[in-house]
A and B are shown apart, each in its own frame.
Chain A
């Protein structure tokens, strides 16, 4: 019975493979009107933390007749879902004077992508004419792509994870020569898929070199290795930036932190955790580092039941570093929530543009080092009375407007809300919020208070001088 099943399954796979390859050739024919081929591809996959960085160097050549202005990158759908960021650059110049010119990367749809493969297109600065070559550097970042196995570990065990990928690069183009390097955090690799010419030396795994691979060739590999880095994931981060034209910028950040590694099971023994830190709870983490802008002041770190006393702030002229410890060490699956707040001098971040409008220049992303943010919301609270807000970001984000009422507001403050999912440290780049503001509005609240006090005194003077009794007795 079991034998029969196996035969059936093999047959099925064969059929599938056949149909797929047919499909592939068809797609390949139709999807690349310009004939591009990749002369040399090198991929370096950095698995040292839970944020996976992939550096891809492609040397492309236009073999077709017409000039090519776009290069396509293909991703399997699972990888596409975990893709946080993709950047591309073209190298120019010789070895010593090499410069990188950033290129535009846009997601595109190909009607006949095999197995739901997703595509990005890189628009080249200068279209490649026939026979010309160019070298592209591509960086993409994957999150949530390491699957802990075993999924639950006890305090004394270390954390092992799976990484799944393909030995050959998925590409709509014909690749002449390619190599893939994987770097693991330590020597401890439990197992890895061996395909033709696989090499392991220390922390590096090498797949390849492979030559002459057809478009869309795919050979799944799986690597099982030890990774005890802090799997710090912020499930939700809300950063509120409040602009006060009286000279300060107040930032409040609400974190929902979780350890996204292998779940902790069973006993947590404090005595073991304290006496044997190198064996016990190696995959847990107890402190995090937040990089804050320089000249930060009035920093606080608390949660909804009060101040958390375990934090250190170091400041110098270039940066401020806030080292925070959650109330308890975080083991796999444990959660913690906290709030970080600080003030910044306004002149470092608010500028006037040539057309008379003001703009805030602030950093996107999460100040915590080496963390993934599943959902990031940035709320820029503009001062009361500001008009026509607009935002400039280096990458697409969802945006909308809200109104917030703060101290003694009458008409409310405009809030520019920016939302982005799956944010990694590479997203920490500046964005600008433009708005126009009349400084007379700054005086509204002091005047209101003055009038209120004045009326209060007038009322009491009136009360003293008016006789309210009905009859003189």
Chain B
């Protein structure tokens, strides 16, 4: 009778708990979505930064022309005169997702513009990502940890930085895909269901579509499988979780045009195939072990080992030969710079020149994951008590992602979910211990609650396992072989023994009342600090769209909208087929906002082309004119921050232009631009620097603004103030001088006498100019 009542009570409580956690999840989704809207509220609903503009443009094309046109799209607006095959070189996941959302909404007659859909894709997928985190953590450590982890992920600054409204980049959907793939892998591992294994392959396919970071999945999961095999945790569930993923996943991945045969040919994927072979060998061994007797098995082992060793040697030799035949050992430049952090700065300046490819500093860890950094170790400890397949996976995940984030700032993004999961586990474990301690020590209810918990733990085994997780029980749990432990979890019969034991254990777990109350208070404080920091980061640090800048001065808010001013001018007042040359940073924006053909853009696939533009910018005027003219360029766009103090302008990026240009065209030498190893533009600067095109285009008639030509970024007066342009003319400068556009003057008519004269003049006066003119790479 009493048992029946209590069981009814628990079902009611379970139902209530389910509804409660459902609402919490909805609220977490709302939180994840709305914390990312600061950029829309503080600025406007607009696409941010550089790469999102390209994605936006591709989405526009997709919605206008349809999917088949999209696959075959050859873009002649960029990389002039080469062009770019967009369909085959882009990760289509994000574009297709936003395109599908747009199509769905429009077929329901909800007329949202493509831009609106693109702006809000990232916040929506952040909500999805936090739900996926809940699912993953729930598989690892139960509902409480799941909810905590989801709440933490909803507002982790590292992820916010890549997914505020308007930041329409691959990472926005890829993080969701990453976490969801991991969840499905763990789910398959826990259930052994082929259904989830298939879903897992599909989720992996979505991840491959979305982001180059899919190689992280296809290396992490094999690592975990290997770890399980090595630690003797092989099971048929592991096989079901892994083998279909490799087969289906690889087949699906090779369907994505940008991956194609890379899915089987590059070294990033070899680990998965190797582990695929190993898991089959292990499966075979386990099978034979089950079939044969002990003695026969030993014979078979020696036989197979000797045979297998020969075969393995042969295969490995072939593999090594194949891999070694390619110059980069079959690894792409970005992957190599992950394995060897110094690789990029040594060999590929173009990768090193991107700020997000630099290794992070300690403050950036605190900025991006804040208190999670301190909670992660506690979470790792909690994962070890007891260690299951799932918890070993998240431990492996955090360890590898910590390494990767240490190599590249950008990969902090991969660390963030792992840190959230770990901290979620740590926080929920801590809360559980403290609240239980308080509950046991509250006067009057101690005896009753003990019995109650005892009954409860006997009814379902999961809470029992959750409870047994403090340092004191660790030893007893570790003694058990892990596989048996898992079997016990599955069997709901393991009742009699724990019900007695758990009571004893719980008594041991109890902390002093005061200590637990204070600890809870401190934990809440820590959480509050985290929330405050996240909101601050979302509102202040990561919401600026970077195409429109604002500054607060004593007379109110001042808006610098110069970039769009220049792009709007280009799009309305130049010919449709005019080519615009600028440094590659502004390529995507120019094609998307001004709809003009550019020479280079942010998809830095052709180093020589970029080096040509870099060379032109670092050459004297005439040589630069010749290079640009040979590229059919009509306008040159430079970004200049000297008047208003905008620090990331072209003069500050100029050394990278010199380096990248000099890497291909050796007559550009970095030391020529440096005075005693220092980069300067004042009167001490070298003549090469003061005569190069970038300097001239940036500072042309700058002296007339204040009479002194004081550069507010470099905080100095410029070296050469009065000069004229002979081959370029200023056609547009924006309100705050941040973007300056010059037109190439048409070549002068040839007059016999005059050309001779000017030739002899130039060779007589400036030898340098004529020399660099001769070395023009296009002659």
Contact = CB atoms under 8 A, between A and B. Distances in A.
Interface of A: 266-271, 275, 303, 305-310, 327-328, 333-337, 405-410
B282 interface: no
Given A268-B733, A328-B732, A275 B110 contact: no
26 contacts: A267-B730, A268-B730, A269-B701, A270-B733, A270-B737, A271-B704, A271-B705, A275-B705, A305-B564, A305-B567, A305-B568, A305-B593, A306-B45, A306-B547, A306-B564, A309-B561, A310-B561, A327-B565, A327-B568, A327-B569, A328-B568, A405-B109, A406-B111, A407-B110, A408-B109, A409-B109
Contacts of B761: none
Contact of A267 (B110, B561, B704, B731): B731
Interface string B38-50: 0000001110000
Contacts of A275: 704-705
A327 B730 contact: no
A309 B557 CA distance: 11
Contacts of B559: 309
Contact of A336 (B548, B567, B568, B730): B568
Given A270-B734, A335-B573, A306 B548 contact: yes
Contacts of A405: 109, 111
A410 B109 CA distance: 8
Interface string B559-597: 101001101110011000000000000000000010000
Contacts of A407: 109-111
A327 B704 contact: no
Nearest to B53: A305
B729 interface: yes
Contact of A406 (B109, B548, B729): B109
Contacts of B547: 306
B109 A306 contact: no
Given A267-B729, A270-B733, A328-B732, A408 B564 contact: no
Interface in B577-622: 593
Nearest to B43: A307
A323 B731 CA distance: 27
Interface of B: 44-46, 108-111, 547-548, 559, 561, 564-565, 567-569, 572-573, 593, 701, 704-705, 729-735, 737
A310 B734 CA distance: 14
A334 B573 contact: yes
Contacts of B572: 334-337
Nearest to B572: A335
A408 B731 CA distance: 48
Contacts of A409: 109
Given A270-B733, A334-B572, A306 B44 contact: yes
Contacts of A334: 569, 572-573
B570 to A, nearest CB: 10
A327 B564 contact: yes
B704 A268 contact: no
Contact of B569 (A310, A328, A408): A328
Given A270-B733, A303-B568, A334-B572, 18 more contacts: A266-B729, A267-B731, A268-B733, A270-B732, A270-B735, A271-B701, A271-B704, A271-B733, A305-B564, A305-B568, A309-B559, A309-B561, A327-B564, A334-B569, A336-B568, A406-B109, A407-B110, A410-B109
A309 B111 CA distance: 25
B731 A306 contact: no
Nearest to A405: B109
B548 A328 contact: no
Given A269-B733, A307-B44, A408 B548 contact: no
A231 B547 CA distance: 31
Nearest to A325: B735
- Residue among A271, A328, A336, A410 having the largest count of chain B Cβ atoms under 10 Å: A328
A328 B562 CA distance: 9
A335 B569 CA distance: 8
Nearest to A300: B44
Nearest to B732: A268
Nearest to A336: B572
Contacts of A303: 568
The list of the 3 closest CB pairs from A to B, nearest first, reads A270-B733, A306-B46, A307-B44
Nearest to B166: A306
A309 B558 CA distance: 10
Given A275-B704, A335-B573, A408 B729 contact: no
Nearest to A305: B593
A269 B730 contact: yes
A328 B734 contact: yes
Contacts of A308: 561
A240 B565 CA distance: 26
Contacts of A309: 548, 559, 561
A83 B110 CA distance: 42
A31 to B, nearest CB: 49
Contacts of A270: 730, 732-735, 737
A122 B724 CA distance: 64
Nearest to A303: B568
Contacts of B733: 268-271
A351 B737 CA distance: 52
Contacts of B110: 407-408
B561 A268 contact: no
Contacts of B593: 305
A207 B45 CA distance: 58
Contacts of B46: 305-307
A267 B701 CA distance: 13
Contacts of A305: 46, 564, 567-568, 593
A333 B573 CA distance: 8
- Residue among A270, A275, A307, A310 having the largest count of chain B Cβ atoms under 10 Å: A270
Contacts of A333: 573
Contacts of B732: 268, 270, 328
Contacts of B701: 269, 271
Contacts of A406: 109, 111
A311 to B, nearest CB: 11
Contacts of B734: 270, 328
A308 B111 CA distance: 23
A334 B732 CA distance: 12
B564 to A, nearest CB: 5
A306 B734 CA distance: 17
Contacts of B109: 405-410
Nearest to A257: B572
Nearest to A408: B109
A161 to B, nearest CB: 22
- Residue among B45, B731, B735 having the largest count of chain A Cβ atoms under 10 Å: B735
A269 B704 CA distance: 11
B128 to A, nearest CB: 18
Nearest to B560: A309
A270 B731 CA distance: 9
Contacts of A269: 701, 730, 733
